[in-house]
Chains A and B, each alone.
Chain A
Amino acid sequence: MAFPILSVIIFTPIITGLIILMIPGERKTEVRMTALAASFIALALSTWVYFSYDTAAGGYQFVEKYNWFPPLGISYHMGVDGMSTPLMVLTGVVMFTGVLISWGIDDRPREFFAFLFILASGVFGVFASLDLFGLIFFYEIAVFPMYLLIAIWGWKVTREYAAMKLTLYLFIGSVIALIGILAMYFSSGLSTFNMLELETAGFSPEFQKFWFPFVFFGFAVLGGIFPFHNWSPDGHVAAPTAVSMFHAGVLMKLGAFAALRVGIMLLPEGARFHLPWIIVLTLINVVYGAFIAMVQTDFKYVIGFSSVSHMGLVLMGFATLNGDGMLGAGVQMFSHGIMTALFFAVVGVIYDRAHTREIPHLGGFSRLMPLVAAAFIVGGMVSMGMPGFSGFVAEFPIFMGLWRFQPWIAIVASISIVITASYIIRVIGRVFFGKMPEEFVGHFGDVTVLDKVALVLLSAILIVVGVYPTVMVTMVESGVENILRLLGGA
């Protein structure tokens, strides 16, 4: 058997987390260095997986399978395809940059990094899981540390409320999905949780129509689907910077990804039946989210609602059920993950200095921190879907897919691009240019080197994917083919 690289990626964070917990609390630098080293390993290995994935062959690669509990057909079964490989890299990047950005956390950094890394393991596990039990197992591991991370290190004003709201929403979603999964397990008669086998179970159309909403919405809650998106902006805002990055950058993809993998891929008939009306919900996500973002005055809420809007595009791309839409959604998951991590990193460094996030009270930051301004502008371009940036590579196919599905939805959805441009440009103009308020002048300087490394890395990825889309598109296409095969075969 080959080197179990996926297991190494999945367990590196959690084992590091446990090691970190054993370091005495006062040795904060050691804690941080350990965290950085582990996140670098995870990043390097996931990048290696990305570039050694054979896109021509497609399918699930780096597969590992061990028995976990044979009587119920539970196995530890890992493997990545063209959809999940970019997400593994995304998680690696966000984890690495998240550690860099959180270097300054001084209150119990040991526990902070430990919980963050337990979460990261859960995320890796969900993306790589080919077993439904494993998927739900890692999914919950990814959810509960959020509560502690937000409640302990979050923004003092709303953290308790936001943390509890987020946890309960996500937990409700996951247990409802769990019931759906159990129903699938027992009615398939295969007594296996193996997704590859369940794909061929041939569930009856009535079964699929009844259970699809359970599974899809159960997971899509974490994807921020309207009307269950409410937890997300509150959670983003209350969370500390690295957690917001993780939350918006990676966790929301977890929801969309699981909804795709369990909902659409295992219950294709149900998907075909329900998605035409679900696409309307995602349309509301896209347009309404953008409008709400436009009227926010809190910098972080702007980004939070923009995430709701952009995640709507992802779910919408899936809901088209055609190749273009899926391809776009796949790239959008990666692109939005990096972009929103970048945004939250920028908001974080500004808030750390200005101690306010009210856009009217900010201004002139480009002079003090030119690199931060440049990075934010790159992110803004991605957000608006400008050619040359990864956002274009993602959104263009989504709109093509939408047009093929139903032209009027594409037209309505395209409104969001204009609105996005308006709020992004407003933020850039107000926060980075304009005049700096008196009380800030001379009080703080540029960001640290670590912050710069993080921001440069994030911006560079966005530009590379934008300029050279093949690097990602061929990968995602190979994953989409597999999904289309399932949809066609139904």
Chain B
Amino acid sequence: MSISSEMIRAILPEICLAVLALLVLAYDLVWRGKEKRNLGWLTAGGLALVFIITLIFARPGDVSTQLWGGMVRHDWLGYSFTLLFIFGAAITSLFAMEMELLGQKGEFYLLLLVSTIGMSLMASSADLVMLFLAIETTSIPLYILAGFFKQDDKSTEAGYKYFLFGALTSAVMLYGFSLIYGFTGTTNIYAITEILVSSDVSLILAIGTLVLILVGFGFKISVVPFHFWAPDVYEGAPTPVAGFLSTASKAAGFSVLMRVLLTVYAEPDVIPYWVIIVAALSVFSMTLGNALALAQKNIKRLLAYSSIAHAGYALIGVAALSELGIASVVFYLLAYVITNLAAFGAVAAFWRISGSDQISDYAALSRRSPKLALFMLVTFLSLAGMPPLGGFVAKFFVFAAAVKADLIWLAIIGVLNAIVGLYYYLVVLKVVYLFRSEEEDQPVPLTRPYTLALTVLIIGIILLGTLFGPWADWSTRAASALFLGG
């Protein structure tokens, strides 16, 4: 097998990430003590470089291609998501570098990069075996990262819990994969469909495999009823890791979910069934996520439930099943990743000074650090879906897709949930802006990595909400990869 330049370009991001990971490993040996903090700059800077290289050189053509023996698909969907993961990882390393037990350890950055490689492969894998390996490559480093604070019981618990849930759901998903292989004799995602249509695999069996696979994907995107791990893990895991889990990892889950549903299960007989399943998952996630978020006292748990609800909103677009629907999901994830990273970044910045994640301790933050308070304001309003911020446009597209697909009931449930969401986001802002506290004369300084990362994210949120044209075009392009190439 000769290696063409196209093949190299298809896995260029992964190659660069691997090189960067080795570089981090090498400098981890060179730098000592406090110097190791610079690994954060190295990782973030390196990732920025990888981002640019990927952006320029790994750009796929208009026609999707399948390479490396049908293992990898080089298309706009994978490309867009890969860029998103690299961005998320860069921001996460900036958030982490100021935390002593996290950012001054080389392993952290290494695991982060390996996990990013896995995600990037998840988004572009075209084969069930490859997909499973990619998911495991993503998850195993994340299990370790979640339990990174070895001295902290909660963090250990988080890592362990995440691992147990992950292993269980992976096993169920793998069982689903093996059944598909048994029925069709192939593991190539794009070949399965035709065989499923032509062979006489009964509808029940097809849907059965779908349900098994959805268990694994549902865990990755943390939708109800596979959400139980999320609040505990987010609460216990180091905050930057929780931010990474709730954004990049979730987006990776969505990318495979969309690809598998729209290719493997693209048979007209099967579609109505999974649309109902996805719509139901969406309704339960939104409703339960928002309802439980109302009662939270810990900001990370609140964000965990809110992220469950956001997975529900994004699923509306999947259930709408149209090019607009998938494009709206991609745009939603883009807005959500940027916004939620900012939310966790603000939480991390506050925790570094105060050592607390209780919402009540955020009292008088607007007096202690007007800048951080303003960042939180923008972030939370974007999560709530207020213009002129990214969250508004994202929700608008998703609801538009639902109305277009005649899922008006789903859109109405969605908007009602948005109101509940608004309530608890406002409650947090109320604490930040309104409440007084005894410590209000103690400032909460923002160090340079936080200011840099948060400023980038805030600008991103505002750009997504105002000049959303290019981003939406991009999302449409990524979505069309699933429709035209299928």
Contact = CB atoms under 8 A, between A and B. Distances in A.
- Interface size on A, as a range, is 35 or more
Instruction: Pick the most buried of B387, B396, B403, B418: most chain A CB atoms within 10 A of its CB.
Output: B387
Given A148-B433, A152-B434, A179 B374 contact: no
Nearest to A110: B370
A72 interface: yes
Contact of A160 (B392, B419, B430): B430
B408 A179 contact: yes
A164 B434 contact: no
B22 interface: no
Interface stretch (B54-62, B148-156, B193-201, B466-474): B466-474
Interface stretch (A57-65, A137-145, A230-238): A137-145
A179 B472 contact: no
Nearest to B400: A182
Contacts of A273: none
B16 interface: no
A242 B473 CA distance: 42
A185 B397 CA distance: 13
Nearest to A71: B476
Interface string B406-419: 00100110011011
Given A140-B387, A148-B429, A151-B434, A68 B469 contact: yes
Interface in B433-486: 433-434, 468-469, 472-473, 476
Contacts of B419: 168, 171-172, 175
B388 interface: yes
A461 to B, nearest CB: 31
A144 B386 contact: yes
B427 to A, nearest CB: 8
A151 B411 contact: no
A108 interface: yes
B426 A71 contact: no
A144 B415 contact: no
B423 interface: yes
A329 B375 CA distance: 42
Main secondary structure of the interface of A (DSSP, over half): helix
B422 interface: yes
A80 B92 CA distance: 47
A179 B415 contact: yes
B313 interface: no
B412 A151 contact: no
B399 interface: yes
Nearest to B423: A168
Interface in A290-325: none
A358 to B, nearest CB: 26
Contacts of B403: 179, 182-183, 185-186
Contact of A152 (B412, B433, B472): B433
A176 interface: yes
A160 B427 CA distance: 10
Given A137-B388, A140-B392, A151-B430, A72 B400 contact: yes
B415 A178 contact: yes
A108 B399 contact: no
Given A111-B366, A182-B399, A69 B426 contact: no
Contacts, number: 84
B432 to A, nearest CB: 10
A167 B426 contact: yes
Contacts of A144: 381, 384, 386
Contacts of B418: 171, 175
Interface string A59-95: 0000000011111100000000000000000000000
A437 interface: no
A147 interface: yes
Contacts of A136: 396
A67 B434 CA distance: 40
Given A71-B473, A151-B434, A179 B366 contact: no
A419 interface: no
A25 interface: yes
Nearest to A21: B374
Interface string B327-359: 000000000000000000000000000000000
Nearest to A148: B433
A347 B472 CA distance: 48
Contact of B404 (A111, A141, A151, A186): A186
A179 B411 contact: yes
A140 B386 contact: yes
A236 B66 CA distance: 63
Nearest to B421: A171
B322 to A, nearest CB: 11
A182 B469 contact: no
Given A68-B469, A137-B392, A176 B415 contact: yes
A60 B13 CA distance: 52
Interface in A149-199: 151-152, 160, 164, 167-168, 171-172, 175-176, 178-179, 182-183, 185-186
A70 B469 CA distance: 8
Interface in A25-59: 25
A171 to B, nearest CB: 6
Interface in A115-154: 133, 136-138, 140-141, 144, 147-148, 151-152
Contacts of A179: 399, 403, 408, 411-412, 415
Nearest to A67: B469
A123 to B, nearest CB: 13
Nearest to A133: B396
A110 B472 CA distance: 34
Contacts of B387: 137-138, 140-141
A381 B423 CA distance: 41
Given A68-B469, A182-B411, A151 B422 contact: no
Contacts of B429: 147-148
A136 B473 CA distance: 21
A69 B469 contact: yes
Nearest to B415: A175
Nearest to A183: B403
Contacts of B412: 179
A156 to B, nearest CB: 10
A151 B415 contact: no
Interface in B43-92: none
Nearest to A187: B403
Contacts of B415: 175-176, 178-179
A167 B396 CA distance: 19
| Minimum-distance CB pairs A-B, first 9 | A175-B415, A182-B403, A137-B387, A69-B469, A144-B386, A140-B387, A186-B404, A182-B400, A141-B387
6 contacts: A21-B374, A140-B386, A168-B419, A168-B423, A179-B412, A182-B411
Interface of B: 366-367, 370, 374, 377, 381, 384, 386-388, 392, 396, 399-400, 403-404, 408, 411-412, 415-416, 418-419, 422-423, 426, 429-430, 433-434, 468-469, 472-473, 476
Interface of A: 21, 25, 67-72, 108, 110-111, 133, 136-138, 140-141, 144, 147-148, 151-152, 160, 164, 167-168, 171-172, 175-176, 178-179, 182-183, 185-186
Given A111-B366, A144-B381, A179-B415, 14 more contacts: A111-B370, A140-B392, A141-B388, A151-B430, A151-B433, A151-B434, A164-B423, A164-B426, A167-B422, A168-B419, A172-B419, A179-B399, A182-B404, A182-B411
